[in-house]
């Protein structure tokens, strides 16, 4: 792929118009705004195309990038992107802990979950108000009511909040209540949704599709960045495999590979990645040891009564123990995490 740094949108449009006939995509390339710069991304094309591009006065630089996700690649930007979510920064610092219930169920439940997340020392609260359920008769989430309850619970304890958005038409309402918008595994290839998130003004947590390759996942992230939003965090949440002993196969190698290929921060979700509560702790620690930028775990005040995913939810006490272990491990690995980020507080220390 070719990435052109150009003077302004007018130059990008002029170049795009002029070289359209030399492209094999059948469409005119659109200018991309990336961290204050105007870019034009074109397919590699012919020698003739390169020669032509070099003749335009407003074209400052032409980069040739070997992968189909140029803007999210480390070739384009070697340093890890730091994504700000409320008062928390993800990327190139100590790992963050995102915790909370699978679904927002009631005011009492989400308040108890927020209190427990805060007490345990988690940094970001999670909880679904729009739930993508396999079965149409399963609990589908409380919708906007759930968003309001989640926001109020997060504000009461001073944590930022991430929640899922399933359709382009819900991007506005979810952006009003959430600090970060989550794209679930079933939506990773909803390209209309990815494009709509380009202009939502919020960071995006992009889960890997359960059958997606790492390359497909990174190209999904490229959709959001190409649409104007470079604040994307990748989330490995397990892929489908033949083994039914776990709900999914948590692909830690894929998470690390994504981190090596892309400058976007990567977090790991061992709750959906394994579906087994006893595997959440060990796999969280393995992910942190591997150098990822955070973990996302489900935690419910009373997992046995959860409306969804109770089998993979930590109790508040288990979360507290896990956060303490993550803190100790991250401290002992601090050379791995040495970066420009601030030291991170993990709340309660048990040792």
The interface mask with Mn ion, positions 183-212, x = CB under 5 A, is ------------------------------
**Binding site partner of 123, from Mn ion, ligand PEP, none, Cβ cut-off 5-8 A by kind:** none
**Binding site partner of 247, from ligand PEP, Mn ion, none, Cβ cut-off 5-8 A by kind:** none
Rounded distance, CA 187 to CA 164, Å? 10
Residues in the site for ligand PEP, rule: CB under 6 A? 102, 128, 132, 164, 184-185, 207, 237, 272
By beta-carbon proximity to Mn ion, the closer residue of 92 and 309 is 309
CB of 169 to Mn ion, least distance (A): 23
Backbone angles phi, psi at 339, to 5 degrees: -165, -175
**Binding site partner of 209, from ligand PEP, Mn ion, none, Cβ cut-off 5-8 A by kind:** none
Q: Which of 109, 106, 82, 107 is nearest to 96 (CA)?
A: 82
CB of 252 to ligand PEP, least distance (A): 15
**Binding site partner of 281, from ligand PEP, Mn ion, none, Cβ cut-off 5-8 A by kind:** none
Q: Which of 309, 313, 320, 330 binds Mn ion (CB under 5 A)?
A: 309
Using CB atoms within 10 A of its CB, is residue 231 exposed (0-12), middle (13-18) or buried (19+)?
buried
**Binding site partner of 237, from Mn ion, ligand PEP, none, Cβ cut-off 5-8 A by kind:** ligand PEP
**Binding site partner of 229, from ligand PEP, Mn ion, none, Cβ cut-off 5-8 A by kind:** none
By beta-carbon proximity to Mn ion, the closer residue of 81 and 182 is 182
CB of 192 to ligand PEP, least distance (A): 17
By beta-carbon proximity to ligand PEP, the closer residue of 226 and 268 is 268
The β-bridge relationship of strands 31-34 and 37-42 is antiparallel
**Binding site partner of 75, from ligand PEP, Mn ion, none, Cβ cut-off 5-8 A by kind:** none
By beta-carbon proximity to Mn ion, the closer residue of 310 and 339 is 310
CB of 110 to Mn ion, least distance (A): 14
Interaction residues for Mn ion, span 93-152 (CB under 5 A):
102
Using CB atoms within 10 A of its CB, is residue 245 exposed (0-12), middle (13-18) or buried (19+)?
exposed
Residue 269 in the binding site for Mn ion (CB under 5 A)? no
**Binding site partner of 230, from ligand PEP, Mn ion, none, Cβ cut-off 5-8 A by kind:** none
CB of 269 to ligand PEP, least distance (A): 6
CB of 120 to ligand PEP, least distance (A): 18
Q: Tokens in use for 229?
A: 């939003």
Cβ distance 164 to 131 under 8 Å?
Answer: yes
Cβ distance 12 to 31 under 8 Å?
Answer: yes
Chain residues in the site for Mn ion (CB under 5 A) = 102, 309
């Amino acid at each position: 792929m070719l990435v052109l740094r150009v003077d302004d949108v007018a130059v990008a449009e002029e170049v795009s118009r002029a070289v359209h006939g030399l492209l094999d995509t059948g469409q005119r390339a659109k200018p991309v705004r990336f961290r204050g710069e105007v870019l034009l991304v074109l397919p590699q094309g012919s020698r003739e195309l390169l020669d032509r591009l070099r003749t335009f006065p407003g074209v400052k630089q032409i980069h040739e990038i070997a992968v189909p996700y140029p803007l999210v690649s480390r070739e384009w930007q070697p340093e890890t992107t730091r994504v700000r979510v409320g008062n928390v920064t993800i990327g190139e610092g100590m790992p963050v802990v995102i915790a909370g219930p699978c679904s927002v169920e009631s005011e009492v439940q989400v308040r108890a979950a927020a209190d427990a997340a805060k007490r345990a020392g988690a940094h970001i609260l999670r909880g679904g108000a729009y739930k993508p359920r396999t079965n149409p008769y399963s609990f589908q989430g409380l919708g906007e009511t759930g968003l309001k309850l989640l926001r109020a619970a997060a504000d009461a304890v001073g944590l930022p909040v991430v929640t899922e958005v399933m359709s382009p038409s819900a991007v506005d309402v979810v952006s009003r209540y959430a600090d970060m918008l989550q794209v679930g595994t079933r939506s990773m290839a909803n390209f209309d949704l990815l494009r709509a998130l380009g202009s939502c003004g919020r960071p995006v947590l992009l889960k890997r599709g359960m059958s997606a390759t790492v390359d497909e996942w990174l190209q999904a992230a490229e959709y959001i960045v190409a649409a104007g939003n470079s604040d994307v965090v990748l989330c490995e949440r397990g892929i489908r495999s033949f083994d039914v002993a776990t709900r999914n196969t948590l692909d830690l190698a894929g998470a690390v590979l994504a981190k090596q290929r892309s400058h976007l921060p990567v977090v790991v979700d061992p709750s959906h990645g394994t579906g087994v509560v006893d595997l959440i702790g060990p796999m969280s620690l393995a992910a942190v040891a591997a150098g990822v930028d955070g973990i996302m775990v489900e935690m419910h005040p009373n997992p046995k009564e959860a409306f969804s995913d109770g089998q993979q939810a930590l109790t508040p006490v288990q979360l507290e123990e896990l956060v303490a272990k993550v803190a100790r491990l991250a401290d002992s690995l601090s050379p791995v995490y040495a970066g420009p980020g601030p030291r991170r507080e993990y709340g309660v220390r048990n040792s």
